[in-house]
Copies of this chain bind each other. A is one copy, B any other.
Amino acid sequence: MNNQLVRDLGEQGLLQKIQPFCPLGVIGDDGAVIDIKTDYQLVVTTDVLVDRVHFSDRTTSAFDVGWRSAAANLSDLAAMGANPLGITVGLSLPGVTSVAWVEELYQGLHSCLQQFDTPIVGGDITRSDVITVAITAFGEVLPRQVISRSGARTGDVILITGYHGLSRAGLELLLNPQLKEALNPKERALLIKAHQRPQPRLDVIAKLRKIASDAVVTGMDSSDGLGDAIAKICRCSGVGAVIESHSIPRCPTLNKLSSDCPTEQWILDGGEDFELVLCLASQLAQELLSDLGEGAAIIGHIRDESRIRINGTQEIRERDISDLSAGFQHFSI
């Protein structure tokens, strides 16, 4: 039974396996019907994950592929300031995929989503030579509470909502098991969890709006790296930034790998930490910060001049915003 393949089951059989992870009635109509609150706007975001590009059997179980797919999309909603309403799942996969793999994928999706009462409201399953998971998430937001990348203003401080570099370190641990020796089991688990089960920071949005319902906040998530997020916000807002390198919190567990690994680089460019990078008034940032856990910090401020300066402990690096990484180049390999 556990060795059953997708091609043995057919599409209808597979849909029956997936049904338990979706609200009743979702599977059956041409589309899903969803309520949206009066005066709210709809926010939509899409991510595509491809086997052997974004995940691999070596580092990611089917459950974790599901979890990460859901987390990445919910993180994009958080980055827009929105509350999630639902997701759709477009799944293509070879007929020789095991049915158990598909069930675990949906378990992972469902487990991440249910933390935020977010249903899978629709989808499509089809045959392909390559497993591909295409998620579209949608949420609702009051127009004045939209968080965009283009509103950062001189005087705003830059707040990050947690540690960076942990997801990249977790990946490294999975790829190079000998690194484990520097860490105790709890520390290993922390880094691997950061990679396999990242948490979208929807909690930050709820806290922010409790403190300041109408405050204008600019920002995005750090899914493509902290450095990338700062560069993109500056470019979209037509401003620059000063980053105090010593203000970026270092996770003690990550520090234990720093003699063997480029942990400083992972903090800036590792990506997939799914924290939020927010630009907002200093006082509001302080208030929000007192509500957030360790790893959250104010790491710099926005300035008029369109250059990003990183004040390090020994050196100062300064670059024009147009020179900075345009983010992960999916086709550059």
Instruction: Please list the residues of chain A having a beta carbon within 8 angstroms of any beta carbon in chain B.
Output: 6-7, 9-12, 14, 28-36, 38-50, 53-54, 75-77, 79-80, 82, 85-86, 88-92, 95, 121-130, 132, 134, 136-139, 141, 143, 146, 148-150, 220-221, 236, 326-333
Contacts and interface: CB of A to CB of B under 8 A. Distances in A.
Residue in A82, A85, A126 whose Cβ sees the most chain B Cβ within 10 Å: A126
A306 to B, nearest CB: 17
Contact of A28 (B35, B42, B236, B329): B236
Protomer copies: 2
27 contacts: A30-B75, A30-B80, A31-B76, A31-B77, A31-B80, A32-B44, A32-B45, A33-B43, A34-B42, A36-B41, A44-B86, A44-B122, A44-B138, A46-B122, A46-B123, A48-B125, A48-B126, A50-B92, A50-B127, A50-B128, A53-B128, A126-B330, A127-B331, A127-B333, A132-B132, A132-B134, A138-B138
A332 B10 CA distance: 6
Given A6-B331, A126-B50, A130-B129, A12 B326 contact: yes
A95 B332 CA distance: 9
B220 A30 contact: yes
A324 B111 CA distance: 36
Contact of A39 (B12, B34, B38, B123): B38
Top-7 shortest CB links A-B: A134-B134, A31-B45, A136-B136, A30-B79, A90-B134, A30-B76, A48-B90
Given A10-B332, A14-B331, A90-B136, A221 B50 contact: no
Contacts of A12: 326-327, 329
A331 B41 CA distance: 38
A37 B250 CA distance: 46
Given A10-B332, A128-B130, A331-B95, A30 B50 contact: no
Contacts of A85: 42
Given A31-B79, A76-B31, A221-B30, A136 B331 contact: no
Nearest to A80: B31
A329 B77 CA distance: 34
A146 B33 contact: yes
A149 B25 CA distance: 11
A24 B189 CA distance: 44
Nearest to A73: B31
A332 B9 CA distance: 9
Given A32-B44, A92-B130, A134-B134, 11 more contacts: A30-B77, A34-B42, A36-B42, A46-B90, A46-B123, A48-B126, A50-B128, A53-B128, A90-B136, A129-B130, A136-B136
Contacts of A86: 44
